[in-house]
Chains A and B, each alone.
Chain A
Amino acid sequence: MSNIPGDLKYTKEHEWARVEGGTVTVGITDHAQTTLGDVVYVELPKVGDTVTKDAPFGTVESVKAVSELFAPISGKVLEVNGELEASPEDVNSDPYGDGWLIKIAPSDASQVNGLLDAAAYAKLLENA
């Protein structure tokens, strides 16, 4: 069973978003990292880049496969998890913690309300 923390928001593409003040931290879910397998490379935008809701902002690669990452909301990239360059496996071992990907300053904070809550995301996985 996948770990789905109750305090996060989710996308149908298996990203999570954590809202703290004016910052939204983004990562991929436990389900996503399990499905992808051993993560060996993560390609992320640069600080200051703009990301657009539902558009790709990077890729995460396992030995076997490449997956695009989709932005849960639009905004400017405030911070990028540089640790993942050296230890991309953090995405597998701690997807909601050390495996975070980017922090965004949202251009429209209300977009967060359109994301799935934990219950809705759990339902999505059940029906997948």
Chain B
Amino acid sequence: MTRRTPLNEAHRALGARMVDFAGWDMPVQYTSLIAEHEAVRTAVGLFDVSHMGEIEFSGPGALETVNALISNDLTRITDGQAVYAGLLNEQGGFVDDVVAYRFSPERILICVNASNREKDFAWMKAHARGVTPVDRSEDFAQIAVQGPKAAGLVQRLTKTDLSKIGTYRFAEGEVAGVRAILSRTGYTGEDGFELYCAPGDAVALWNALLAEGQADGVKPCGLGARDSLRTEMKYALYGNDIDDAHTALEAGLGWIVKLDKPAFIGKEALVAQKAAGVKRKLVGFELTGPGIPRHGYAIHKDGRPVGEVTSGTAAPSLAKKAIGIGYVPAELAAEGSTFDVDIRGRAVPAVVVKTPFYKKP
């Protein structure tokens, strides 16, 4: 059965085109993907991300329990901070990529991908030694407010001093009279907040943000813009760029893997892989011939298949330059390396470039 977020009716009232996404009925775009993308880069956009899951660990030992499950290190951050992390399998591949919020050493909340919620919860229950996880997904709706004008917009609706909340930090407070977690996070490459609230408050919060944001040129944005924005940043999408068969080191996410931590699932495999050398890498590339690379297209070198495109688009913020992300052998991973992308039988030349593709002006 298709699931609906508390904002489903609001999306329909705004004329959104709805699609099935990971079993959820979600807006893909309202008017124009490119216009929504531009709104986030230059003003502010709102995303309904209520389909994301939230899993909580609370009680004595919560921090230690979670730290043995995730690749990043909760002991290196303070209360009120969050970290991006991997849940890894024994081979160092991804069960999921998550954001872990440290409220206190006795309360950790983990935001997981909608498509992986059930899998993650079962995996956490099976592997948690200490505190037992609780699936709190039904208790939260979530609205992402992203763009250079996001902080100003949210600030006008809250008494919480947002200048005190740095990147990857959060606070609890009220926005437009609604109790919320205000998290300075997002997946667009822009400044902004992800606001977690009770499902029953989501419509009031959404409408308040839309009304107050008129002066900023706010736009409701769909999954289409979310995908093009994150691709321009080379942010990995689970199921596209990262999965259980590619390790965190291959995905270029070594920075969220703390190999000096005492223990976490997948550590031994990654230590061994690091010592042996990583054989394939996730790179960003631009096409130098006509076409657009897409998920699943083969990467060829000298006519032979050597890799695969995991994401690609015509980048709206880069004059629609065709950009892609994909796995290639390590010897083709350096900036300036060239290969071909097989676009429906046509070999289109591509060159590895520095990422993120998009840099703030």
A interface residue numbers (CB < 8 A to B): 35, 37-38, 40-41, 43, 59, 61-64, 66, 85
Contacts and interface: CB of A to CB of B under 8 A. Distances in A.
B34 interface: yes
Interface stretch (B74-82, B171-179, B209-217, B289-297): B289-297
B224 to A, nearest CB: 5
A37 B33 CA distance: 7
16 contacts: A35-B17, A37-B32, A37-B33, A38-B32, A41-B292, A41-B314, A41-B322, A43-B291, A59-B344, A63-B33, A63-B37, A64-B28, A64-B33, A64-B224, A66-B292, A85-B290
A37 B17 CA distance: 10
Contacts of B146: none
Interface in B8-57: 17, 28-29, 32-34, 37
Contacts of B17: 35
Closest 9 pairs (CB-CB, A-B): A40-B314, A38-B34, A64-B224, A40-B320, A63-B33, A37-B33, A61-B292, A63-B228, A41-B292
A99 to B, nearest CB: 16
A35 B29 CA distance: 10
B266 interface: no
Nearest to A61: B292
**Which of under 10, 10 to 19, 20 to 34, or 35 or more describes the interface residues of B?**
20 to 34
Contacts of B344: 59
Interface string B292-323: 10100000000000000000011010001010
A63 B316 contact: yes
B292 A40 contact: yes
Contact of A62 (B33, B37, B291, B322): B33
A85 B135 CA distance: 50
B241 interface: no
Given A63-B314, A64-B28, A64-B224, A38 B33 contact: yes
B171 to A, nearest CB: 35
